[in-house]
């Protein structure tokens, strides 16, 4: 085995240095992001308005379906529909 290939002290120092740099970078990023948002700024691209995912016709259709279901429910509750129970 070659000398110097396994150097635990060097490996630990490299790992701790990289970890410290990563931690400082993350802290700096979070401070910048917080300051930007707290001052009313936007991170990333400004959102554009998107068209509505539905239109009035589809909303009216859904309301009509629910109204018909309510009418059917009322017919069951008031006794308009009568069924002969074959088990009796």
> Each residue of 1-48: pLDDT tens digit?
466 578 899 999 999 999 999 999 999 999 999 999 999 888 888 777
Residue 65 and residue 59 in contact, taking contact as beta carbons nearer than 8 Å? no
C-alpha span between 16 and 9 (Å, rounded) = 10
C-alpha span between 5 and 43 (Å, rounded) = 45
This prediction's pTM: 0.46
Residue ranges of domains in the chain = 1-41, 54-83
Burial class (CB in 10 A: 0-12, 13-18, 19+), 81: exposed
């Amino acid at each position: 085995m070659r000398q110097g290939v396994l150097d635990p002290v060097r490996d630990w120092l490299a790992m701790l240095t990289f970890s410290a740099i990563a931690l400082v970078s993350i802290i700096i990023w979070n401070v910048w992001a917080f300051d930007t948002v707290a001052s009313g700024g936007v991170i990333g691209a400004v959102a554009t308005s998107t068209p509505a995912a539905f239109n009035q016709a589809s909303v009216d259709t859904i309301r009509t379906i629910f109204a018909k279901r309510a009418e059917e429910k009322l017919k069951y509750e008031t006794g308009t529909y009568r069924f002969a129970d074959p088990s009796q």
